[in-house]
Amino acid sequence: MRPQVGRVLQETLVNLATDVLPTIQPAFRQGALGTQLMLLATVAEEFERAAARRVEENQALRVIFASAQALPLDPDLGVRLAEASLREDPDLRVTVLDAANDELRALLIELHAAVEALDGPVAQEIEEAIWQELALSTERRKISTAPF
């Protein structure tokens, strides 16, 4: 048997919502279970897209880093950007992808600070790319099943 995690989560969610929730008393306990059901729905959605979203985001940051090599940056930062732009995500475990994303985002902060201190069209293009990626990242992380 090969359990399909998303399906198991959805079936559990439906079962709890239709069979268990109505039997819970008092009302505040129903509310607490309702909150847990919303979290379960969120987990189901995130499970489905977890690796893909992280790989997409990591690659987008690496593209920005590759583009930034045309800027007159601090040599140490330039080397780290070049190295980061060449890395890949061969291990698709979410914890590994998250660790890579944390490193890339820290480097993005450094790059953003450096770009804001520069003038010229290339610096402006890189800054616009950074802001665009931050907006896209927010959209990628949006959860459709929860009101937050």
Q: Domains of the chain: which residue ranges?
A: 5-141
CB 111 within 8 A of CB 68: yes
Smallest CA-to-CA distance from 145 within 40, 17, 20 is with 40
The reported pTM is 0.82
CA distances from 105 to 24, 27, 109 (A): 44, 43, 6
pLDDT in tens, the chain (148 residues): 787 887 888 888 888 888 888 888 888 888 888 888 888 888 888 888 999 999 999 999 999 999 999 999 999 999 999 999 999 999 999 999 999 999 999 999 999 999 999 999 999 999 999 999 999 999 998 888 655 4
Alpha helices in the chain (DSSP H): 5-15, 27-67, 75-86, 94-116, 121-141
User: What number of residues does the chain have?
Assistant: 148
Residue 90's Cα: distance from chain center in Å? 17
